[in-house]
Amino acid sequence: MGRGEPEVMGGATPAPPGGATPAPPDGTEATMPPGPRAGGDQRHLSVALGLIVGFMGLEVGVAAVSGSLALLSDAGHMLADAGALAGSIWALRLAARPASGAWSFGLKRAEILSSAANGVTLLVVGMLVLVEAVRRLIHPPPVQGLPVLLVAVAGIAVNLGATWVVSRASRRSLNVKGAFQHLLTDLYAFVGTAVAGGVIYATGVRRADPAASLLVVLLMFRAAWDLLGASGRILLQGTPEDIDLEEVRRHIAEVSEVVSVHDLHAWTLTSSLPVLSAHVVVEEGCLADGRAARVLDHLQACLAGHFDVEHSTFQLEPASHVSHERGTHA
């Protein structure tokens, strides 16, 4: 909480944000190695990817023999799962790269792009399955119930294993959360397919197969909506849902030396890394008599105690400076 060290601008000496290590005197960049959490997440996702790809090949073969759309839609969803997991692993590796001059925050937002891609693949696969399910509801083809039931039960076991492995990764990451949503949706889909296979085997009602596919589609659309909404909010620089800017403004204004606050912004760089910046107008003599450090201490304590902010930048400025600024806003 609030580990970022605010920067002072407009007459004071900047402090390195986020507790970052200052650049070495020789001018080279200070970098930090990827933490063990990222490496552990990659291992969990890799194990789940192996389970999914191995079972997907078996499912496609049985779907072709049995004529089951539910199994084929599950296989399509598993293909999306495999792509989501592979993309998530790739994004984690990119995000672990250190910052550079061209990428001052590193490539941490690659995780958000991966999450958005997960949402898009769920949406596209869901639409394709929806069209075919409606067609088969109108003209149901013959389907063998027993192979569908057996493969679906095996799929439940495989997805339970993969879902459990991914659940051990950090789901504070929207990237990992997207991969987990893929697997969880596929697990529910296999349950529906198993029910459909049982109904077909016991009663011969062939429309149970496309009906189960429609259930899969609904789950895909719901997961896609959640992922696209969350990733879109970050990519469009929306204020984090758990940060109330008016509450932030009120807390900053409670510091005795603060006159007003403007150009207050908060956004999310990547999962669990909110960013906040503001121009803080202070009393005329505050910067000259050395009280700026105390103001920063108060702001730091405010962020640490009330807001989950990892990186913050405050420009402290005297009231006389406001008239020289252009394009200011609340």
- pLDDT single digits (tens) 23-61: 433 333 333 344 445 567 888 889 989 998 888 888 888
Beta bridge partners of 267: 275
Structure tokens at 306: 């009330």
* pLDDT at residue 15 is higher than 70: no
Instruction: Note whether 182 and 224 are within 8 A (CB).
Output: no
| CA within 13 Å, CB half, 250 | 7
> What is residue 7's three-state secondary structure?
coil
User: Measured between alpha carbons, how far is 248 from 312 in angstroms, rounded to an integer?
Assistant: 12
Q: Is 235 exposed, middle or buried (0-12, 13-18, 19+ CB in 10 A)?
A: middle
pLDDT, tens digit, 9 for 90 and up, residues 163-189: 888 888 776 777 788 788 778 887 888
pTM: 0.70
Angle ∠(40,242,85) on CA atoms, nearest 5: 30
Q: Which domains does the chain have, with CATH numbers?
A: 36-235 (1.20.1510.10), 239-324 (3.30.70.1350)
List Cβ neighbours of 326 (8 Å cut-off, separation of 6 or more): none
> What is residue 209's three-state secondary structure?
helix
> What pLDDT does residue 157 have?
92
Residue 309, φ and ψ in degrees, nearest 5: -120, 120
Beta bridge partners of 226: none
